[in-house]
């Protein structure tokens, strides 16, 4: 009996590692940008191309930057969540339309509703590279000093919003 | 009518003007891009290098790297640029750091552990062999059994 104990223990450890490995999402790459100032940019706005949007415009406010595109499936999935958040009005959500066609983006917002006061247009995806975007949708929580506090990769859902994003936003707003 | 034809014929020329130069005419820069791109991971299809991937993001990143090469930035500067944005994950060769010690030392630990286990097992087996001498009675019985087998076949 004793000679089976060691292999059994090794097997149990292996199963433990594999079990933890199964719950991890390899798509979630930890962002080195969390805790760093949000990279500056100056981009034209989607609705009014004459106007521009820069993160500096948001100084003194806690806000979310949501990177989306009309071609992105996950964006459609998270859109109702964004709409709800916009209606609740606890935190402003600004959009960044990533590598998209203007007409597509506009009609997408017309169909799905527009949760963003302003959407910036990153047609070439260059600002996306500065923000380390690799899979839309991505959402950044940016504090009053313009520092990125959290990055969500992939669609937002009710649970992430309730358990992670809103508590963080409240904490940052109180500062 | 003739000048209109001329304009139409010249149109494709205009369309070309806006395209980013692929730098293919500069073999040195292209070789540097290739050399760098095989060391970098495409974040969309994570098991492909930036050189292999056809994902739009990989194309953008290659364009970005090309531009940095054109600006005469060193390999290290280009890699730092990408690591600042995407983290160590873009590197196919992970750096030696506190968080990656297990990754680097792990295989050697396993090798040493295996070696120790092997020595222990071999030693124990050696003891087990010497500790079981065969008595004369057993010896005779073995002879007998073997000879029986021979007769049968």
CB contacts, 8 Å: B64 with chain A: 126, 129
Q: Where are the domains of chain B?
A: 21-90, 101-152
B86–chain A Cβ distance below 8 A for any pair? yes
Q: Is the pLDDT of residue B5 over 80?
A: no
Nearest CA in chain A to B83: A32
Nearest CA in chain B to A126: B60
Average pLDDT of the segment spanning B63-89 = 88
Return the number of other C-beta atoms located less than 10 Å from residue B153's C-beta: 4
List C-alpha distances in Å: A26 to A104, B48, B61, B119. Answer: 31, 14, 20, 39
Q: Do A45 and A119 touch, CB atoms closer than 8 A?
A: yes
A134–chain B Cβ distance below 8 A for any pair? yes
Nearest CA in chain B to A132: B85
Test B43 with A131 for CB contact under 8 angstroms: no
Q: Do A93 and A64 touch, CB atoms closer than 8 A?
A: yes
Average pLDDT of the segment spanning A57-70 = 93
Say whether the peptide bond before residue A143 is cis (omega within 30 degrees of 0).
Answer: no
Q: Tally C-beta pairs within 8 A across A and B.
A: 41
Test A135 with B44 for CB contact under 8 angstroms: yes
> What is the distance between the alpha carbons of residues A129 and B112, in angstroms, rounded to a whole number?
43
Q: Do A105 and A122 touch, CB atoms closer than 8 A?
A: no
Please state which architecture CATH assigns to domain A32-174.
3-Layer(aba) Sandwich (3.40)
Test A126 with B60 for CB contact under 8 angstroms: yes
Q: Is the pLDDT of residue B3 over 90?
A: no
Q: Where are the domains of chain A?
A: 32-174
**Greater pLDDT, B4 or B99:** B99
Q: What spatial distance separates the first Cα and last Cα of chain B, rounded to whole Å?
A: 107
**Residue of B46, B64, B87 with shortest CB distance to A30:** B87
Test A126 with B86 for CB contact under 8 angstroms: no
Average pLDDT of the segment spanning B63-70 = 88
Token pair recorded at residue A38: 């949000």
Q: How many helices (H) and strands (E) does chain A have?
A: 6, 7
Q: Give the rounded percent of residues in chain A with a pLDDT score beyond 70.
A: 97
For position B7, what pLDDT does the model report?
A: 61
A162–chain B Cβ distance below 8 A for any pair? no
Test A32 with B83 for CB contact under 8 angstroms: yes
Ranges A35-39, B13-17, B140-144: which has the least confidence: B13-17
Task: Name which of A79, A64, A70, A56 is nearest A98 in CA terms.
Answer: A70
For position B118, what pLDDT does the model report?
A: 94
**Cα of B81 to nearest chain A Cα, Å:** 9
- Segment A109-151, tens digit of pLDDT: 999 999 999 999 999 888 999 998 988 899 999 999 999 999 9
Q: Cα angle vertex B79, ends B73, B84, to 5°?
A: 110
**Greater pLDDT, A47 or A27:** A47
Query: What's the whole-model pTM score?
Result: 0.72
Q: Is the pLDDT of residue B46 over 70?
A: yes
Token pair recorded at residue B65: 């790297």
Q: CATH class for domain B21-90?
A: mainly alpha
Ranges A64-68, A128-132, B30-34: which has the least confidence: B30-34
CB contacts, 8 Å: A128 with chain B: 60
> What is the distance between the alpha carbons of residues A101 and A105, in angstroms, rounded to a whole number?
6
- Segment B67-77, tens digit of pLDDT: 888 888 888 88
Average pLDDT of the segment spanning A4-27 = 88
- Segment B93-132, tens digit of pLDDT: 888 888 788 888 999 999 999 999 999 999 888 776 666 6
For position B9, what pLDDT does the model report?
A: 62
Q: Which residues contact A152 (CB under 8 A, 6 or more apart)?
A: A138, A139, A140, A160, A164, A165
């Amino acid at each position: 009996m004793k000679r089976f104990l060691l292999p059994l223990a090794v097997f149990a450890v292996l199963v433990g590692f594999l079990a933890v490995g199964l719950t991890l999402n390899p798509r979630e790459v930890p962002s080195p940008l969390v805790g760093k100032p949000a990279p500056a940019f100056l981009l034209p706005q989607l609705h009014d191309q004459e106007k521009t949007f820069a993160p500096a415009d948001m100084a003194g406010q806690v806000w979310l930057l949501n990177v989306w595109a009309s071609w992105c499936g996950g964006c459609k999935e998270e859109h109702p969540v964004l709409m709800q958040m916009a209606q609740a009005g606890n935190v402003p959500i600004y959009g960044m339309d990533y590598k998209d066609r203007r007409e597509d983006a506009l009609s997408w917002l017309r169909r799905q509703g527009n949760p963003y006061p302003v959407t910036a247009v990153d047609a070439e995806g260059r600002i996306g590279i500065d923000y380390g975007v690799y899979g839309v949708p991505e959402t950044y929580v940016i504090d009053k000093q313009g520092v990125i506090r959290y990055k969500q990769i992939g669609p937002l859902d009710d649970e992430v919003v309730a358990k992670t994003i809103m508590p963080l936003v409240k904490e940052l707003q109180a500062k | 009518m003739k000048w209109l034809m001329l304009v139409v014929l010249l149109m494709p020329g205009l369309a070309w003007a806006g395209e980013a130069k692929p730098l293919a005419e500069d073999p040195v820069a292209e070789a540097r891009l290739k050399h760098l791109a095989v060391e970098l991971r495409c974040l969309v299809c994570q098991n492909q290098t930036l050189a292999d991937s056809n994902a739009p993001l990989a194309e953008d990143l290659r364009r970005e790297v090309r531009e940095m090469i054109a600006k005469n930035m060193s390999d290290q500067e280009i890699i730092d640029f990408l690591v600042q944005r995407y983290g160590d994950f873009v590197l196919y060769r992970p750096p030696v750091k506190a968080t990656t010690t297990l990754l680097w030392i792990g295989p050697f630990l396993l090798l040493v552990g295996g070696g120790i286990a092997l020595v222990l097992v071999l030693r124990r087996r050696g003891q087990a062999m010497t500790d079981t001498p065969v008595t004369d009675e057993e010896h005779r019985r073995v002879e007998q059994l073997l000879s029986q087998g021979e007769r049968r076949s």
